[in-house]
Structure 1
């Protein structure tokens, strides 16, 4: 590390960067991902398009994000983050405003294609890349801190978007959120971010292409990757479809938005459980508990759609999602080592992001089958059980100490 990187001033500044990015990523996730599920039904009613056509736009954004994240990571390895993240925030705010004015399908898909680029620039993939260059020994604590704050994103923005939509309509709601997004994130990214002190990996952590190849050709790797991809798929389906599902079940838009917010807030105890009870969740017990809890939550939703049943589902499913986030961050290092963590986790994230991208479209198709949303919920229960089994097999015999 450079001399300035060791100074107290720079150490304090690193945590200022963490605090800044915790705020901006929370707002960005709230507006760019959680708002879509809130305005989906009002958009469908006004525009007269099918839910499948609308969710395909969100799938497009996620697909562009998955691909664009590779290029964004390369840029952040070579250049300071200020221009990229501030520019991404400006692009995001402008495109959310454009989203509020769409009147035909071409406009919608162009806007969401652009939003995918903005997502790649300002969401977790870029934020984590920036933060890890400010820390050598405590970067894991920094990542956990950001994800703990980010857990409030859905809890804040789902009810906010729901209230704005009920009060002013979906177009005005999006315009207000676009202004909020730009007003918060652009000045913070432009004013706080600067070139980090760490531009290369520590000397004792060289990248080893041979070890990456060995890891990604192992059975454990593919079992883990499949498990996390299935979990990511289920999470994306719930984010996009929950409000529409609850609206079709007779709940008000405001209550449905509240439930979506509880799903997001539930990630907070999930991450705390992972941190404080990590010793009890070593090895194969972690994926079994994580995805088993998701299956239980979905089973509750399948049989009990009362207000209490929905909120209980939301809390449990959110807890599972919070556990999955840190499981995704830590398990690759435990199985394959820190030396090849970047290469191995990059492949895992590619599959997980691909699953997230496909989820809105696939779930919309399943919802058109006999049984509608009940069929969709049943499919998610089965997927969660399979994810738990695959994860259990991937980590079978592993009893590693967690370093998060």
Structure 2
């Protein structure tokens, strides 16, 4: 049985274990309160307020755009000053915004709230957390994998709870409960568990011949071919995973599968994701970022090919697709983080991750709409799936290129 025990990059004894568990539990809760809650609340909101699903989903899109655009300034601040204050303040602000969301009756107000929630996501979710880990855990790759292993259970834990709260209390009171959980969970965990952490710049300054000005300028990042190569590979991956999140159910219904079977198949996604991460944690340093990335991109391509051929392969083919897709999507999150550290770390993790978020903004926010538009024009999902396979093939080639260049 593995233990979340890591060598320290900071000063305080026992910091890495406290840091990893604090961030992991905070992220597990926050993904539920600030992301999964949206899909569970908009149905009752639409029924009560009379707004369309398109109107409501536009709020989520605005939040994603705000989070992506805020990624650079937030990342640079965490690179300079550390993440304790930023992540705590973001979590407290998110709790306040959940209260405001519970009182909303205006579509314009709802959009403003979700733009602000997007800003708090930039301050307190994945990239901010990984920035802190990279500066304070000796084996940051294993630490990040441990965190994602725990947060992989977020949907399993939070979705049933939020669903029950909405059913019992109504969506407005359910959001008030989530606001309290956000305040007593992530906000309190980050304030206590990130104590004594250092920033990436402070870590550099403490190294032999280190310099607090050692990071390269932000402007250089956008002229760096490595950023654009990474944008090509992870943009393709983000387009695939973002699009499939919203279209896999109607796609399988188009092929004649019953909802009960679809739900059973999709239930395999979480366990396969967690199992893949657990395997990598157990392997430790035996797998490099290059190997893990090539494997995960290859699995994504094979998974989408299986989905393309699903009509002829039947249920066994769909099971294989879900297992491969879940495992690959579980690993590629870690690959994206560690690739940013290894290939663009000279700019500071927060700056590099923010730049990558900005240049992949369109595939992240536009994939569901683009796929829906193509389906409307073509009348079938199958040609769209083949297009995704081609995009992933190009993304895989881009990752092989940059990882080979690094070696």
Return the TM-score normalized by structure 2.
Answer: 0.77
Aligned positions, number? 387
2:384 equivalent in structure 1: 379
Report the Cα distance in structure 1 between the residues aligned to 2:79 and 2:270, rounded to whole angstroms.
31
1:390 matched to 2:392? The reply is no
List gaps (5 residues or longer) in structure 2.
1-7
Task: Classify the secondary structure of the residue corresponding to 2:259.
Answer: coil
Q: Is the Cα–Cα contact under 8 Å of residues 243 and 367 in structure 2 kept in the other structure?
A: yes
Deviation at 1:185, TM superposition (A): 1.7
Q: Is the Cα–Cα contact under 8 Å of residues 284 and 396 in structure 1 kept in the other structure?
A: no
CA 1:294–1:211: 2 relative to 1, 3 Å: farther
2:66 equivalent in structure 1: 64
Deviation at 1:64, TM superposition (A): 0.6
Report the Cα distance in structure 1 between the residues aligned to 2:367 and 2:146, rounded to whole angstroms.
28
Q: Is the Cα–Cα contact under 8 Å of residues 82 and 197 in structure 2 kept in the other structure?
A: yes
Q: Is the Cα–Cα contact under 8 Å of residues 306 and 320 in structure 2 kept in the other structure?
A: yes
Q: Is the Cα–Cα contact under 8 Å of residues 229 and 402 in structure 2 kept in the other structure?
A: no
2:56 equivalent in structure 1: 54
Give the superposed CA RMSD: 4.0
Deviation at 1:144, TM superposition (A): 1.8
Task: Classify the secondary structure of the residue corresponding to 1:102.
Answer: coil
1:286 matched to 2:287? The reply is no
List gaps (5 residues or longer) in structure 1.
none
- Match 2:114 to one of 112, 115, 124: 112
CA 1:114–1:341: 2 relative to 1, 3 Å: closer
1:381-402, Cα deviation, whole Å (9 max, x unpaired): 5224422333224414955999
* Pairing of 1:217-296 with structure 2 (within 5 A): 217=225, 222-240=228-246, 251=259, 262-272=268-278, 276=283, 278=287, 282=291, 285-286=294-295, 288-296=297-305
* Pairing of 1:1-400 with structure 2 (within 5 A): 10-135=12-137, 137-197=138-198, 199-201=202-204, 202=207, 203=209, 206-208=214-216, 216-217=224-225, 222-240=228-246, 251=259, 262-272=268-278, 276=283, 278=287, 282=291, 285-286=294-295, 288-296=297-305, 298-299=307-308, 314-332=322-340, 336=343, 338-339=345-346, 342=349, 345-363=353-371, 365=373, 371=379, 375=381, 379-380=384-385, 382-396=387-401
Report the Cα distance in structure 2 between the residues aligned to 1:5 and 1:274, rounded to whole angstroms.
22
Report the Cα distance in structure 2 between the residues aligned to 1:40 and 1:260, rounded to whole angstroms.
21
1:315-358, Cα deviation, whole Å (9 max, x unpaired): 44322211211221234566x47545746554333333553233
